Amino acid sequence: MRSQELFDRARACIPGGVNSPVRAFGSVGMAPRFIARAKGDRIWDVEGNEYIDYIGSWGPMILGHAHPAVLEAVERAARDGLSFGAATEREVEMAELICGIVPSVEMVRMVNSGTEAVMSAVRAARGFTGRDKIVKFAGCYHGHSDAMLVKAGSGVMTQGIPGSSGVPQGCTRDTLTATYNDLDSVKALFEANPGEIAAVIVEPVGTNMGVVPPEPGFLQGLRAICDANGALLIFDEVITGFRLALDGAQGFYGVRPDLTTFGKIIGGGMPVGAYGGRRDIMSMVAPMGPVYQAGTLSGNPVAMAAGLAQLKLLRDTPDLYAKLNRAGDEFFAALDGILSDAGVPHCVNHVGSLGCVFFTPEKVGNYAEAQTSDTGRYAAYFKHMLGSGIYLAPSQFEAMFLSTAHTPEDLRRTLDAVREFVK
């Protein structure tokens, strides 16, 4: 079996055999499949097995894999040289496109990953407010920068316990943790730290503890609390940006953040991130202002070409989001129905094309509730689906991503495989 051989070789020279932990399939107790190629909603492993893919590179492939227009843009850009370390026209086009699409973004800076986008946005928020403390939510993932790696799920008032070895106490001392969908937990942190909180950062839809939608009024409440306390509101739209709507979760829910971080979809499959927002805040960033942030490969011409091609397709295709969100509504309702009919304890959460099934009888609205899931059952479900040619996230606490390339026939086939599993 070639995936197994590659995994054995990989483990000898790459930590855990992978370049990002979830790829190792550790939480489903299997060896990972090594992927050779992908097209549309299909992905093929090195053995030649074909799967309907519901990961989509964890979000970027909203138009399906290897979209011809994106590939052509990449090929054309590559022929002119891969990197200059100098200003280019495509970067201007990209910034204008983003500012034109997302009203809260008046200025934007390109970086190379979602991690970098969040790290830089937090720095800008601290520089602008002159305050050090940041509020994040248990179960929200904001990349792997030191200050954001605070142990999730450790309760409302938990202060600064690093969630990773190698992160000094000092780096997370100013990171406060609140409970998702619980405005009182946020108010309590502001009361305990008056005049010290620079920003609240939130995934406007929780997508890294499984999918956890915001309850009505939660995001609006965060906006009001920040305004009342002179703090900034940062939406981490690395997953939700250009997915729930063209203007992201902020458009979908009608709440305007001060700063926004992007990644994943914005690069069309290339390594890209971005952070942007209010002009007065972004004017703090070097070389305009005193907040230093830089990048040798930032705004890379090939990456910009891929991102621009994908964003333009998203912008210019009529009804794309209405259709994609409707497909998500129908798919996740059908999934819910199958599990209900079979009497399987479950909670299907979804927003548009993002969703997941928790194997728990609880309603899941935060990290602690997500933790009640039967991960053994998820592992069995994952294994069954993979064996049926359906490639899901190899963890209970990740999302399923639908793309515009998923056909009604493929969605039906997927639901049939779920029916087999619960039979």
Ligand X SMILES: *Cc1c(COP(=O)(O)O)cnc(C)c1O
Catalytic residues: 141, 236, 264
- Give the separation between CA 59 and CA 41, rounded to whole angstroms: 12
Tell me how far, at minimum, the Cβ of 118 lies from ligand X, in Å.
Answer: 6
Q: How far is the CB of 264 from ligand X (least distance, A)?
A: 6
List CB contacts of 21: < 8 A, sequence separation 6 or more: none
Residue that the structure tokens 């399987």 belong to: 344
**Site map for ligand X, 118-157, x if CB under 6 A?**
x----------------------xxx--------------
Q: Closest CB to ligand X among 16 and 289?
A: 16
Q: Which is nearer to ligand X, 238 or 338 (CB)?
A: 238
Residue 203 contacts ligand X per CB under 6 A: yes
Picking from 300, 278, 342, the residue whose alpha carbon sits closest to that of residue 84 is 300
Is position 180 an interface residue for ligand X (rule: CB under 6 A)?
Answer: no
Alpha-carbon span 352 to 333, nearest angstrom: 11
Find the DSSP H helices in 54-203.
68-79, 89-101, 114-129, 169-172, 183-192
Name the minimum Å distance from CB 408 to ligand X.
Answer: 28
**Binding residue (CB under 6 A) for ligand X from 3, 120, 179, 208:** 208
In the complex, what is the shortest distance from the CB of residue 312 to ligand X, in angstroms, rounded to a whole number? 22
Pairing verdict, β 259-262 and 273-277: antiparallel
The residue (of 264 and 377) whose beta carbon lies closer to ligand X is 264
Q: Cβ of residue 189: shortest distance to ligand X, in angstroms? A: 21
Closest residue to ligand X, judged by C-beta, is 114
Binding-site size, ligand X (CB under 6 A): 15
Residue 73 near residue 258 (C-beta atoms within 8 A)? no
- Cα 389 to Cα 47: distance, rounded to the nearest angstrom: 13
Restricted to residues 226-265, the positions that interact with ligand X (CB under 6 A) are: 236, 238-239, 263
Q: Is 247 helix (H, G, I), strand (E, B) or coil?
A: coil
3-state secondary structure of 155: coil
Give the C-alpha separation, 224 to 50, whole Å. 48
Applying CB under 6 A, which part among 88-96, 113-121, 312-320, 400-408 lies near ligand X?
113-121
Binding site for ligand X (CB under 6 A): 113-115, 118, 141-143, 203, 207-208, 236, 238-239, 263, 273
